[in-house]
Amino acid sequence: MLAKNSTDSKHNFFITQGNTQPDYQSFILSIVESQVIPRLLKAERIKKRHLSLMPSARALPTQKEIEIFVDLCISKDQKVSQTFVEQFLKTGLNKEDILLELIAPAARYLGSQWDDDHMDFSQVNLGFARLHSVINEFRFASKERLSVKGKVNRVMIATAPGSLHMLGATIVADFFRQKGWQVEVAISSSSNELVQTVSSQWFDVIGLSISIEKQLTNIADLINQFKCSSLNPHAAVLLGGPIFAEEKWHAIDFGADGICVDAKHAVALATSFLPEDKIRPA
């Protein structure tokens, strides 16, 4: 996900994590400008009606608070960063200022920490994933929208827990968005975080991207947890990724509902699992 719009050399760093030393600071800033900021303000991602144009009732976040927020974003507990943001809301900071004065500076601070070798690739990657998670919470802040089936098709696309390879998942996510789906791209260090996500948000389809055979070891157990805890008891779980192009696997072997061979097939297969009232004419 983070390397989507990067140059080839920087893109290869994210895929291979080789020894080439890119310009970290300009790279991270390019991510902020091309991915994080647009995700904050684009109408398609955060509807303007959810942002308040009234001045905040409290002071804007300080640099110290921004640094604390970043530390929470790279911690093991997925919920603490969201709780931190919710405290700002309770004390009078509006959503627009949180997006522009907390999340965007936090993204830049992540970049500076990497540039200064205070954080490694995994920490920065996790930090950005948590920032996107907070942004997604703004889009689905209404408990009613989270707990009931809506008219918009929703899909979560996640990599195997601990995987840092997001290119394939990002491509698949873009295909879903082009077809009008709301997409949550999840980067997670643990299965528990993914289970928490599907248990707290409504998804019509859950997709897992698998890169190597080793990642298949615990996938059946993870899929079982999805099906047992999903807010949508009828959510379909689909598998995809490079590993399925190399060997012949069957969805039933893992308790999944299907295996996707490419991004286009993923959208078509996901659509086939939607109830009739949610399938839109082609």
The pLDDT score that the predictor gives to residue 167 is 61
Element (H, E) at 206: strand 205-209
The Cβ-side half-sphere exposure at 258, using a 13 Å CA radius, reads 18
CB–CB of 131/216 below 8 Å? Answer: no
* Phi, psi of 206, deg, nearest 5: -120, 125
The pLDDT score that the predictor gives to residue 165 is 62
What is the rounded CA–CA span in Å between residue 226 and residue 141? 22
The pLDDT score that the predictor gives to residue 22 is 40
Q: Among candidates 112, 134, 136, 122, which has minimal Cα distance to 28?
A: 112
Fold of 145-278: Rossmann fold (3.40.50)
The pLDDT score that the predictor gives to residue 223 is 96
Question: Residue 231: is it exposed, middle or buried by C-beta count within 10 angstroms (0-12/13-18/19+)?
Answer: middle
CA dihedral 206, 207, 213, 217 (to 10 degrees): -10
Q: Looking at the chain, which residues constitute the CATH 3.40.50.280 domain(s)?
A: 145-278
The pLDDT score that the predictor gives to residue 47 is 43
pLDDT tens series, the chain, 282 aa: 333 333 333 333 333 333 333 444 444 445 554 455 455 544 334 444 444 445 566 788 999 999 999 999 999 887 899 899 999 988 888 877 887 789 888 888 888 888 888 998 888 878 887 887 777 666 555 444 444 455 789 999 998 887 766 667 777 887 898 888 999 888 776 888 899 889 999 999 999 988 888 888 899 999 999 999 999 999 999 999 878 877 788 999 999 999 998 888 999 999 999 987 666 554
CB within 8 A of 147, min separation 6: which ones? 202, 231
What is the rounded CA–CA span in Å between residue 77 and residue 149? 28
